[in-house]
Structure 1
């Protein structure tokens, strides 16, 4: 029995689908089970990271846990609560989604190590664990859809900084492999795509997929921060988001690894593949 947190999200939903397709018994955790349709092999259970009793109930009977908590200042509290519940309920293995660069010191830039406490909680006990540190998700480009549909340039807060943009489906496949095998125990896997891409690079690839040019527009970091706060984002979260963009612009996330290929036995998907598979999100009608 495998408990999946974040079961209605991009990565968690794919993990549920893949596990069920392999015949695994899955517990899909969500705060509102009534809004989720059950499917063969999948039992929907209630769990709220801010309700420890619900986490214990969700973990009861599970042998393994896929841990994905929403990024933000609350991540440490949520991860620690879920790991504590897993230990108390006898869960044997945890696969946690962290983030590339977690725990690293970057000169001149404050890095929000939201996932560091969760990583430490796993390392400090007897659980079998695997930590996944993905680079920027290709699916972040879905945030450009409103501009692309209107024929407007997409915002760029990272200049020409490049990243090893990774397809979330590859992250999910790696997670499933770690959850269902005895390989990669107590391993930290840094997951990237096969190429380094900047925002203009991604816009160019997307434009080629759509058969038209997709332009970008530079957004100053102070404007970016103000827009986040105006949208209701916590100022602390906004500061860390700005620092992240600054880090990328300075080349701080320009790295590729072979971990996806090592685990899956194939090359990671390209951004062009992701764009082609999600083309419908960027076209009207």
Structure 2
């Protein structure tokens, strides 16, 4: 005999909170939750940045992620929280520490059962990785809450190349790493897929990490060769010394601690570091660099 439907189905709805719903990963997480039939809670400073369609399918809460009281109120009753640290300002490590403390305060106050953190490969080192060290500190804050937490250890985003369009149009893939050193690269879409699946699943518990590593490790040389093939123009990889990058960032008026945080990331990857999360069937995601670049990058290069 079929069960009788609940007279109050809203009482059984899953309450999933997304902290950066306009970000390149957060916006994609929201769309996946909508497709799953969920009505997520979106924490935003400016709701006008959300489309009318997204607002209609979500519960929108205006909150500054640096405001602990606002975040505690917004996450009341949450079954799961997707936490992404927003743009970090002049002192990234201090900002990460502060945002991690806010998240932990809200998780404790509301006894949030599950948290999915967008972290990074290198955060597990807990030092020597520049800005990524801040994500390690956020991991520690959340680990201390007693909640079940998954730290998504993401590879280098393909979309970071969109910040270097001028150099790419000049035929250069600039890197602080040796041009043939391979590291994990990943599409933001794939990160969103993994995050949404983790948020929706209740099959996991405790403190866990998950690599989100793209389909293969890539070097700047690999990227340059692929772009050469896709554009029909010569593109080469070029290693830029740390001191040159430092001087460039200072010339933009960037604060010294932010400069150190940015430059320091490459130092970590140039070390003998071995990631905690190995490449396997779970950590390997499907979107190739060639597919992403064909759709996202090459049209922008041609438009320039």
**TM-score, with normalisation over the residues of structure 1?**
0.87
Q: CA deviation at 1:103?
A: 3.3
- Asked if the contact 1:65/1:95 (under 8 Å) is kept, the reply is yes
Corresponding residue of 1:24: 38
Deviations 1:247-272 (A, max 9, x none): 3345647898335x327xx8532211
How far apart, in 2, do the equivalents of 1:215 and 1:254 lie?
Answer: 28
The residue matched to 2:303 in structure 1 has which SS? coil
Distance 1:145 1:30, change over 3 A: same
How far apart, in 2, do the equivalents of 1:182 and 1:24 lie?
Answer: 15
Q: CA deviation at 1:90?
A: 3.9
The residue matched to 2:209 in structure 1 has which SS? strand
The residue matched to 1:272 in structure 2 has which SS? helix
Is 1:215 matched up with 2:233?
no
Deviations 1:223-279 (A, max 9, x none): 1012112223321221132222233345647898335x327xx85322112112213
- Which of 16, 24, 36 is the aligned partner of 1:2? 16
Corresponding residue of 2:262: 241
Q: CA deviation at 1:217?
A: 3.4
Q: Aligned-pair RMSD on alpha carbons?
A: 2.5
- Which of 154, 176, 192 is the aligned partner of 2:173? 154
Runs of 4 or more above 6 Å deviation: 253-256
Corresponding residue of 1:101: 122
- Asked if the contact 2:104/2:145 (under 8 Å) is kept, the reply is no
The residue matched to 1:114 in structure 2 has which SS? helix
Distance 1:85 1:125, change over 3 A: closer
- Asked if the contact 2:176/2:266 (under 8 Å) is kept, the reply is yes
Is 1:177 matched up with 2:190?
no
User: Which stretches in structure 2 are left out of the alignment for 5+ residues?
Assistant: 1-14
Distance 1:237 1:45, change over 3 A: same
- Asked if the contact 2:122/2:129 (under 8 Å) is kept, the reply is no
Is 1:205 matched up with 2:226?
yes
How far apart, in 1, do the equivalents of 2:277 and 2:125 lie?
Answer: 16
Corresponding residue of 1:35: 49
Corresponding residue of 1:284: 303
Corresponding residue of 2:251: 230
Q: Which has the larger radius of gyration?
A: 2
Aligned length: 279
- Asked if the contact 1:105/1:111 (under 8 Å) is kept, the reply is no
Deviations 1:191-239 (A, max 9, x none): 2122221112112212322232223333221110121122233212211
Query: Superposition pairs for residues 121-200 of structure 1, below 5 Å?
Result: 121-149=141-169, 151-160=170-179, 161-185=181-205, 186-200=207-221
How far apart, in 2, do the equivalents of 1:51 and 1:94 lie?
Answer: 18
- Asked if the contact 1:192/1:256 (under 8 Å) is kept, the reply is no
- Asked if the contact 2:122/2:275 (under 8 Å) is kept, the reply is no
The residue matched to 1:85 in structure 2 has which SS? helix
